[in-house]
A and B are shown apart, each in its own frame.
Chain A
Amino acid sequence: MTATKSDQHLAWYRRMLEIRLFEEKVQELFMEGLIQGTTHLCQGQEAVSVGAIAAMRADDVLTNTYRGHGQALARGMAPETAFAELMGRRTGGSGGVGGSMHLVDFSMGNIGSNAIVGAGLPIAVGAAMAFKFQGQDRVALTFFGDGATNIGTFHESLNMAAVWSAPVVFIIENNLYGEYTPLRATAPLDDLARRADPFGIPGIVVDGQDVDVVRDAVATAIARARSGAGPSLLEMKTYRYRGHSRSDPAKYRPEGELERWKRRDPINILGERLAADRILSPEAQEELAVDVQREIDAAAHRAAEAPFPELEETASYVYAE
């Protein structure tokens, strides 16, 4: 175990904790009425965001979906900025007009969080093609759910990316449910990675609960894209602990399924590794969780003190000069 690797593990562990506790805090703030509308939380899927984004270069870009808090934080958005956006405050990443489904930050290459299923894929392919035309070796990643693999833009984007050898990595977060409906009721196969086969590109099933495995799989796909060899489709097998959105209690889940997945919790998997490697003891992990919780609480508190934007100041967001 090199020092670098242990530093990475520590950073990833902390970031996964941050995402987990951020999402828990969002639920709390929702109950208090500070966050309204809807939210799509990602507890249980933290290793996908953190592992995949750890494989990106600073100048690479990503698009994602309304279940995108994890990627935004993993890419470096400050929790306070994210909370402020969810609370509709001027200090949010989009000045408060975007909300939970649109955590973006162009300065970090987080170029779009889409509330329309499947709409982020073409945008990532376009960004990737721009890099190719400009002679840059940058890569675009796009995160989307299992449900998105049934919509036309998924197949059309894989097709175009394959035909053009676009430097893009398609990442399915297969959490087994497309909204309220189990995958097997809407797709005729269990391994969505096989949906890469008609386009002649790699389609790889990945354990989405193990951040090391995720990171390595994405690094391989990114290296392939950067070298000019074209796109890959990665299927992250993962699970969301909560329902689809705010209004979904997830009663459709078979008994024991949630508990079974929690036994492969991504934070615990890395936590056990950190303990075994004597990098962070279970006691130190608990202390760290307390620290991160304190930071999350403080970030939410600061966010809630920020002003709401004025309606007229948002007019300049509609059209560019």
Chain B
Amino acid sequence: MSTPNNVEMTYRDAINAALVDEMAADDAVLLMGEDVASDGGVFKTNTGLLERFGPQRVINTPICENTFTGVALGMSLMGMRPVVEFMFADFLPTAADAIVNQLPKYRYMSGGNCSVPVTIRAVSGATGRFGTQHSATGESWFMGLPGLKVVTASTPGSAYSLLRGAIRENNPVIFHEHKGLFGRKGPVARGEVAEVGKAAVLREGDDLTIVATLLMVDRALEAANTLAAMGIEAEVIDLRWIRPLDIDTVRKSVGRTKRLLVVEEQVHSGGWGATIISRLAAEGTAYRAAPRAVSLPDHLLMPYSPQLEDQIVPSAAVCVDAARGLCGST
């Protein structure tokens, strides 16, 4: 592998670069899904792939997520490494059988006699005015499934390295990319392949630990800057992997800061944030203040109306308020 070479690119282009580099490195890698080969795909993440790799490796499918995910599984059993694009993460439940009963269980039910290297790319998240059925992150929907891995990308650099890591995994992985981040620019270490199951500490601080994923990492970092001006130093962790969950990195940070804020673009119940709080509580973690969550409200759903969508997705200001409350400086 070549030495990582830092280049500035958008999150969208970073995903494209990861696909290009993996497809160039291994003929078994192919991309399939709805409109993936049409004009670079709906979100233009696939620009140039069809021209470079041809229609046998960049494949438009009919609209039938459950079946084309099962097809990807069948391909993987015979030596291919399919990357399956879900145009919206909201469509993942239409493939629930493939995702819940097939991908994670297939190797197990064979007594470990096969492997299932399938990567699902799920285009996730709100802020695009896509309304109630096209805006979910879905990041925690499938976190409770042994046999599966789930990862989220919050920056161009991690989108690149995590997607490469996901494609190289010999197990099924759901890779969440946030559509609100596609235009975001940042450094990408071309050639880097991320380690599976490792969170990233993006900012160090001693007063509290903020854990976030996807777009919420941005909000957390923005909040941390505001908090710093107020004399509060937040440690910001980009959780990245939801399964396996990197509780070690979170525990180490919380052990020092003794304050925890989770920031989620999802309801708090049944998600990674609640799981982290629960696991640390069960371990008897000593806090200076009870952990808090900033998340989507439990009694509402995602609205289309632009003003309402802006209100419902956690802002940096809401994170600042929660952090100040935790630190006793309201």
B113:A133 contact, CB within 8 angstroms: no
- Give A303-321 as 1s and 0s: 1 = Cβ < 8 Å from B's Cβ atoms: 0000000000010111111
Selected from B64, B73, B97, B171, the residue in CB contact (under 8 A) with A126 is B73
A106:B70 contact, CB within 8 angstroms: no
A153:B113 contact, CB within 8 angstroms: no
Once the chains are docked, how many angstroms separate the CA of A94 from the CA of B117? 20
Contacts of A47 in B (CB 8 A): none
- Interface presence of B127 (CB below 8 A): no
B109:A97 contact, CB within 8 angstroms: yes
A127-B75, A130-B78 are known contacts. Are A122 and B70 too (CB-CB below 8 A)?
yes
Contacts of A94 in B (CB 8 A): 109-111, 113
- Give A145-177 as 1s and 0s: 1 = Cβ < 8 Å from B's Cβ atoms: 000000011001101100100000000000000
Contacts of A112 in B (CB 8 A): 77, 106, 109-110
A106-B113, A127-B78, A317-B107 are known contacts. Are A116 and B147 too (CB-CB below 8 A)?
no
- Give A110-122 as 1s and 0s: 1 = Cβ < 8 Å from B's Cβ atoms: 0110101001011
Q: Which of A122, A157, A321 has the most CB of B within 10 A?
A: A122
A116:B102 contact, CB within 8 angstroms: yes
B74:A130 contact, CB within 8 angstroms: yes
- Give B97-112 as 1s and 0s: 1 = Cβ < 8 Å from A's Cβ atoms: 1100110001111111
B62:A126 contact, CB within 8 angstroms: no
A116:B67 contact, CB within 8 angstroms: no
A123:B74 contact, CB within 8 angstroms: yes
- Interface presence of B225 (CB below 8 A): no
- Interface presence of A247 (CB below 8 A): no
B66:A153 contact, CB within 8 angstroms: yes
A320:B171 contact, CB within 8 angstroms: yes
Interface residues of B in 70-94 (CB under 8 A from A): 70-80, 82
Contacts of A160 in B (CB 8 A): 61-62, 64, 67-68, 71
**Chain B residue, CB-CB nearest to A92:** B111
A116-B102, A123-B102 are known contacts. Are A129 and B71 too (CB-CB below 8 A)?
yes
Once the chains are docked, how many angstroms separate the CA of A96 from the CA of B108? 11
- Interface presence of B306 (CB below 8 A): no
B108:A106 contact, CB within 8 angstroms: no
A316:B67 contact, CB within 8 angstroms: no
A106-B114, A133-B30, A320-B107 are known contacts. Are A119 and B102 too (CB-CB below 8 A)?
yes
**Chain B residue, CB-CB nearest to A90:** B111
Contacts of A129 in B (CB 8 A): 71, 74-75
**Chain A residue, CB-CB nearest to B78:** A130
Q: Which of B62, B112, B116, B170 has the most CB of A within 10 A?
A: B112
- Interface presence of B45 (CB below 8 A): no
A122:B68 contact, CB within 8 angstroms: yes
A152-B67, A156-B67, A159-B62 are known contacts. Are A317 and B74 too (CB-CB below 8 A)?
no
Q: Which of B30, B109, B113, B114 has the most CB of A within 10 A?
A: B109
- Interface presence of A16 (CB below 8 A): no
Give min CB distance, B143 to chain A, whole Å. 15
- Interface presence of B128 (CB below 8 A): no
Contacts of B101 in A (CB 8 A): 116, 119
Contacts of A74 in B (CB 8 A): none
B74:A152 contact, CB within 8 angstroms: no
Selected from A122, A130, A314, the residue in CB contact (under 8 A) with B67 is A122
Interface residues of B in 131-155 (CB under 8 A from A): 146-147
A-B contact pairs, 5 of them (CB 8 A): A119-B102, A121-B67, A130-B75, A320-B170, A320-B171
